[in-house]
Amino acid sequence: MIFRQLFDNASSTYTYLVADERSREAIIIDSVFEQSARDLALIRELDLKLQYAIDTHCHADHVTGAWLMKQKTGCRIGAAKVIGATNVDIELEHHDVISFGRHSLEVRATPGHTNGCLTYVTEDQARAFTGDTLLIRGCGRADFQQGNASTLYDSIREQILSLPDSCLIYPGHDYSGRTVSSVAEEKAFNARIGGGANKGDFVGYMDAMRLPHPKHIDIALP
């Protein structure tokens, strides 16, 4: 599998490009509008055929580049069915499978940060693209966009930390220069949900957080 991790400094957002080496069919995950030229150049350079532009959730910190990817490549846009977004080609639900060449991504519904969060897991369960649901040594906030800390706890525990310990975790953001973690690492070292933290501990921690308004929420969300 071809795999690239790309970064937007302004929003500290990770974009992921995965592709099949033989067919050259590709998927881009969490594209950022301002980085569309960079991403399109890489797709052309690697001679890839972009099949899908998918998002892990409706972002509050940047504008998705999915529609521009479709305009430039003819790919299909995928997003969670529950958010009811317009101009979406495939409405994704739990356990859907998105294929690209010989490879595929399993869709796992992981609400809690928002009600429409999705995690994408490669067919061999070697990689999970967790968006803002599970970050490296942290997790997404749960105080807006129909967020719910109890639901977020269940999503992380049941849909992500249930994957093999060796599964690599690729988050939607990182603010400390980290690029990847693993299920085993997050079980051991994530102070919010790892170790012996129970749901009560997690919900109490999340409810006590006081976070600023996301910078681009007014233009990123309809």
**Cβ–Cβ under 8 Å, residues 105 and 91:** no
Matching residue, tokens 């105080």 = 143
pLDDT digits (tens, 9 = 90+) for 134-168: 999 999 998 866 789 999 999 999 999 999 999 99
Model pTM?
Answer: 0.92
What pLDDT is attached to residue 60? 60
* pLDDT surpassing 50 at residue 187: yes
How high is the pLDDT of residue 215? 52
Burial 69-105 (b: 16+ CB within 10 A, else e): bbebbebbbbbbbbbebeebeeebeeebebebbebbb
pLDDT of residue 59: 56
- Which residue in 140, 121, 101, 128 sits closest to 184, CA to CA? 128
Q: Which residue bears the tokens 């071809």?
A: 2
Q: Give the mean pLDDT of 110-134.
A: 97
Q: Tens of pLDDT along 46-90?
A: 999 999 999 998 756 658 999 999 999 999 999 999 988 888 999
Residue 4, pLDDT score: 99
Q: For the chain, which domains are there? A: 2-209 (3.60.15.10)
**Gap between the Cα atoms of 96 and 145, Å rounded:** 23
The model's pLDDT over 166-176, given as tens digits with 9 standing for 90+, comes to 999 999 999 99
Tell me, what DSSP letter sits at residue 33?
A: G
